[in-house]
Amino acid sequence: MTTADSLFQAFLNRHDDAAWAEVLDRLISSIHRVDKRAVSIWFAFFPLRLHRALAESMDPSATARELSLVGKYRLADQVDSSHEFLYGHRYWPDVKPDVNSYAAGSQVSLNLDEQIVESASRTSTRINVDVSLLVGITAVAFMTLQQAGPDVFRKPAEARSYGARWKKSPDKIVAGRIRDDGQGLFGFLRTIDKRFTVTFREYEPDRTFEIINDQELTTAAARDQRDYRSQDQRCIEGPIPVECRTAACGTCWVGILSDTRLSEPTPREVHKMADFGYSGFTGERSSPIRLACQTRSHGNVSIVIPPWNGLLEKLNEQYQPPNSIEETNQ
């Protein structure tokens, strides 16, 4: 690690989850609509407090067991793949080296959001892509650098397909999220038996399953009999990991890319989400994070399935992140 790397890493480490939330609030208007919710979902999937708890633990494996962590929860193990559901993922091979160069240089601004925009603007100029498509993935890159560290982040991007399977334009993707399936010639006569589509990987073809009007997401997903377990051992029935279907386990938390046709959170979902400690749940229908077993759909919906699950509420009691922006400014 160079001196410049150390200084920039120290600057990043002054930011905790609360400080990052403020950064994202200031950035959100600069992010293209296709990635606004996706960026919020990604930051909920990879909270800094979880990374810090594991990094500072004397026994990370024991800490992981205490938090009941299952799946791929270390961001450092998926630097080049954690953000596949962002449209901006396709620009990762360009964004990643530019962020490395930015971190190794001299930064003019002391505001993290301004630095993210500046780095995204440099990439935008170099590859001739609208900067709004780059701000979100650049913010993801800065957080990934903070959690993975310069030595891991500096490695060249893996040789893989970056968004090549996603053929639609950003605007068409956004439009598709608010469009429902037709119900046939006499669809106007249908009521409770309307059929809709849940998409769980927008960037891959045929990653969908059918849902009946007012059905829970997990119940509908269980009818998808394709083999998902070979890719994710948490998947027992369908593509959404689930254990209980009663909001008792927290396994089925998902990100919501389109929220206009979902049921309001039940009191149980609100209560259990507080117990689980997942970031990003607002208690409202439009929340970017929901429990799939408690969420009913009244139309097409696009979701993102996180690569892990656990019980993070213990972090609220046992772990206080050091060196936050607030502490530094006192």
For 180-229, the pLDDT digits (tens) are: 876 665 555 556 689 999 999 999 889 999 999 999 999 999 999 999 99
> Collapsing DSSP states into helix, strand and coil, what is residue 71?
strand
- Bridge partners of residue 289, in order along the sequence: 255
Tokens of 326: 């607030």
Q: What are phi and psi of 13, to 5 degrees?
A: -70, -10
pLDDT at 180: 82
pLDDT at 318: 56
pLDDT at 281: 96
Provide the CB-side half-sphere exposure for 318 (13 A, CA).
15
Q: Does residue 166 have a pLDDT over 80? A: no
pTM for the full model?
Answer: 0.92
Tell me the pLDDT tens digit for each residue of 282-303: 999 999 999 999 999 999 999 9
pLDDT at 225: 94
Of residues 167 and 116, more confidently modeled: 116
Rounded Cα distance between 304 and 165, Å, is 17
pLDDT at 131: 98
Contacts of 91 (CB under 8 A, 6+ apart): 123, 127, 129, 133, 134, 137, 162, 163
Tell which residue, 207, 211, 175, 174, has the closest CA to residue 193.
Answer: 211
* CA quadruple 221, 223, 230, 35: dihedral, nearest 10: -30
The 10 Å CB-count burial string (b at 16+, else e) for 266-303 is eeebbebbeebbbbbbeeeeebbbbbbbbbbbbbbbbb
pLDDT at 191: 61
Tell which residue, 238, 203, 207, 224, has the closest CA to residue 88.
Answer: 203
Tokens of 259: 């929220």
Rounded Cα distance between 299 and 213, Å, is 7
Could you tell me the domains of the chain?
Answer: 3-164 (no CATH), 178-313 (3.10.20.30)
Tell me the pLDDT tens digit for each residue of 228-276: 999 999 999 999 999 998 999 999 999 999 867 899 999 999 999 999 9
Q: What is the mean pLDDT of the chain?
A: 90
pLDDT at 288: 96
The 10 Å CB-count burial string (b at 16+, else e) for 126-158 is eeebebbbbbbbbbbbbbbbbbbbbeebbeeee
Of residues 3 and 101, more confidently modeled: 101
pLDDT at 328: 40
Of residues 319 and 329, more confidently modeled: 319
Confidence of residue 327 (pLDDT cuts 50, 70, 90): very low
Residue type, 205: P
pLDDT at 187: 55
- Bridge partners of residue 291, in order along the sequence: 253
Least confident span in 4-8, 22-26, 296-300, 303-307: 4-8
